[in-house]
Chains A and B, each alone.
Chain A
Amino acid sequence: MDTMPETKTRKTEARAAQPQDGPAPQPSQKSDAERLEGFEREQLRKMMWDMLLARRFEEKAAESYALGKIGGFCHLYIGQEAVAVGAIHALRDDDYVMTAYREHVHALQKGVSANAVMAELYGRADGCSGGKGGSMHMFGADVNYLGGHGIVGGQIPLALGVAWKIKYKKEDRVMQVYCGEAAVNQGAFHESLNMAALWKLPLVLIVENNRFGMGTAWERAASLYDIWQKASAYAMPSAVADGMDVLDCYRVAKEAHDRARAGEGPTLIEARTYRYVGHSMSDPVSGVYRTKEDVEKEKANDPISIFAGLLARNDILSQQELEEMDAEVKRISEESAEFAENSPEPALDQVYTDIYSTEDVNGRLYFDMRDR
């Protein structure tokens, strides 16, 4: 395998598919100084702020869902915040982000406002997709947030195409795309990895391995446990990130971005994380596929508590400052719900808009645009 591109990033031992002991993410063994090296104080505080906003915002969304103010499917990211917050901090504003349907935090982190995300959840006119997308289809073209896709794995070929565009237009940009671990079994994942590596496209694919595809444990769905190993089939560099450590997610992503910008092609990152909530709001937190005790045990790894402890120990953010920060993001979350509540429903004359680039071709665009 002397032609295999190597990565400096830590890898773990390959493991065959069998139930694994304990959490998949390996808590960082580094000293505090090593973990904090190279980060500015303000950036660290901002990462904390972003993770806290993500958590409080989604808790508010869950509350609104329970009250019937949000409909349909609503997949929360609670427990996984370190992945998107860390990896998107390692991007530039003109880089692109795309993900699947567990996407509220990715949208927020890429720069879609809390008001626009909440209004979209409420199905209102001021939502980031005008109320036409909902929880699974949020977009922010102005901040290079490309959605919000509902078919497992379907976003990966799209991201491949954005990476192709970057190469075609000779741009200095990176396409960062996310999928859940269950998407790794889709053909779209493998087809995309092959072409991304074949053409050395600036694609960074982050697999958020939260260990369950809905209610199916990863080891019951995959013959090979270690997702990072899949990259070797495509002669692509890969890495494992501790998905409960925002700084590890940042570092691993940054290394991949640097490689992409240098024209060295794509990277596959397996971020080992855990979801503290059900697959969607309509699913139980625990039950037939995992116990309540399992979930409670994993909460010892809470990415926000771990990071708060690190920052407090190193005099970067005191407990009191953390509480003030928490109050601020709670207020923003509350205000976003008020904003959504007060935003109008989309006008019914919007039904036939945004389907085609022009609404009338030679007198009639639709076969069926009749009064009902």
Chain B
Amino acid sequence: MTSAAKQRVEFGPEHRPAGIVTRMAAAGIDLAVVVVLWSLIYATVAGARLIWSPTTFEWPTPPVWLTFGLGLVLAVLYLTASWAMTGRSYGASLLGLRVLSFRRELPGWALSFVRANFCVFFPVGLFWVILSPGRRSIQDVVLRTMVVYDWRGADSRNAE
């Protein structure tokens, strides 16, 4: 975990801070991914119940708190793993964004977990990007992280 957090990213002119439009689009895609994951879990549970007792099978009807709670947990886990491992979630990967620490390194698991909780439970902090001259959200300001465009260099590296 430590070695991964210390992985540095080569900066270039193209690595500019991402704006509100791309970050919200990435967040929306990540939300969809979480919904899909939640749906998979729900389908898995329903299938298990079907296999377990096919005659008495009924679609599971979890309570609302469990549904939202499980969704929040899935979101935190998904974002923590994504940022800690690659610096980008699936939505950030599609839009060419990457989360870096103030040392321009991948955030570690701890930082990623904290930032994931901060983003899941306080998503409004993202709109501070509009007002921030450095296009930083409240989470970035508090945790000293940054979100930058990182798709031109990545494409060239992938091409190599």
A binds B: no
Give the A-binding residues of B (Cβ under 8 A). Answer: none
Give the B-binding residues of A (Cβ under 8 A). Answer: none
